[in-house]
Structure 1
Amino acid sequence: MSLEEKVAQVKANIAAAAREVGRDPSEITLVAATKVQTSDTIRQAIAAGITVCGENRVQEMTAHLDDNAYAGAALHFIGHLQTNKVRQVVGRVDLIESVGSEHLLDAIEAQAAKLDLVQDILLEVNIGGEASKSGIAPEELLSLAQKAVSCPHVHLRGLMAIPPVAEGPQGNRPFFARMHQLFVDIRQKMADNEVNIDCLSMGMSGDYQDAVREGATLVRVGTALFGPRPPMQHT
């Protein structure tokens, strides 16, 4: 299959999963996870109908920005963001999806204040309680969300999660369902603040249809669009 066909196929799968549960397919945005892809491939994906690209690594993202590879699409940062790389990301991406600590939130607020802009963010929740993953525990979410809303240079748009590797088909649906419940709760609790919490980013190549069935508004898909990633080059 060509890249165009793969993009069309994933979008069709998203639409079918949405309709299955009575959702409007237009509520869900496909984020192409472009880790290790070339600038040319990113341009081809945008030409094939991708409207949002998601980058995991600051160095790759910066090189692609220098190439103007993302022209015509929005750009999200979806990987683990170290505080020492914040200045390379704030103001250069439309959304930072992976804010998983107060320390990182403070760094983003400080950099956005320096640049006199407001940075859209999602809070990353470690929904599976995995030691190997970043993100905050569900019980810490409300206090971090309240802090984010009080930051003048940060705009809280919603939540993101990377659940554990699924065991069998539909293995991640309970995690997705729990994330959706947290999303609904946080929207209700933040309703008195004039915020626009409308993003729930969850689901990847192996489980994005289940994520859509459970309420995702953003799905981050790489392998299903671009094929298996080549091994990382260690220089």
Structure 2
Amino acid sequence: MHVANRIQALKEELDRMGVKLIAVSKTKSPEDILEAYQAGQRAFGENVVQELIGKQEVLPKDIEWHLVGHLQTNKVKYIAPFISLIHSADSLKLLKEINKHAQKHQRMIDCLLQVHIASEDTKFGLDHVELIELLRTDELAALRHVRIRGLMGIATNTPNQKEIKEEFRELKTLFDGIKASFFNDAPYFDTLSMGMSADYKIAVEQGSNMVRLGSTIFGER
């Protein structure tokens, strides 16, 4: 089954459920991405800044680029002119840096706050207490060129579907609570990015409205 066929089938399935598809194109060639683009896909996710810049330069300009991997503060300046959504904002320091470079380019950069929901220690993200503390700071409120669009989380890499389901459910509950407490009058706080190729169906069942799929679209690396 070619990339185009996979994209079309997935988009139909996800569109019906009101879920946005981000095609994770890390390690994929511009030719692979173009095949998905020609099948109608416009939102692509990368996790390495250098790779993202190289692709952005040679691919169609109406592609919506998402940074789905961990972002270091010293790399923000390279993607600030064009990035559509940063999924992995996990500190006030990083958000300030994003704001600084967004201001230079006279634009607003949309961000998701990454929440640590997995049982592994290796994954990035804020814990619940850190998240609430961040949202309460006047410093965050003062950032005029960053817009918090929602939350992102990565579940534990485990065959235990019950554990994955509980992690996603917990993040959806947190998302709803944060929306009610901090973004009640903000229609733009609308994105819950959870679910990758191995677990996106569980994520969608638990309330995800944005999924990040790589091997499901492009095949195994």
Of residues 172, 190, 204, the one that matches 2:196 is 204
- The size of the alignment, in residue pairs, is 219
Identical-pair percentage: 33
Pairwise CA distance, 1:113: 2.2
Alignment of 1:93-112 (within 5 A): 93-112=83-102
In 2, Cα distance between the equivalents of 1:34 and 1:164?
21
Pairwise CA distance, 1:216: 0.6
Pairwise CA distance, 1:134: 1.1
Match of 2:104 in 1: 114
Match of 2:76 in 1: 86
Whether 1:126 aligns to 2:116 is yes
Alignment of 1:1-235 (within 5 A): 1-14=1-14, 25=17, 27-67=18-58, 69-128=59-118, 130-147=120-137, 148-191=140-183, 194=186, 196-229=188-221
Encode CA deviations 1:172-193: one digit per residue, 9 max, x unaligned: 1111101101110111012355
Encode CA deviations 1:56-109: one digit per residue, 9 max, x unaligned: 111111101110x24443111111101110101223111111101122112111
In 2, Cα distance between the equivalents of 1:200 and 1:159?
5
TM-score, with normalisation over the residues of structure 2? 0.91
Cα contact 2:118–2:155 (8 A) shared by 1: yes
Segments of structure 1 that go 5 or more residues without pairing to the other structure are 16-23, 230-235
Cα contact 2:183–2:189 (8 A) shared by 1: no
In 2, Cα distance between the equivalents of 1:99 and 1:31?
17
Distance 1:158 1:177, change over 3 A: same
TM-score, with normalisation over the residues of structure 1? 0.86
In 2, Cα distance between the equivalents of 1:142 and 1:91?
29
Question: Helix, strand or coil for the counterpart of 2:51?
Answer: helix
Question: Helix, strand or coil for the counterpart of 2:183?
Answer: coil
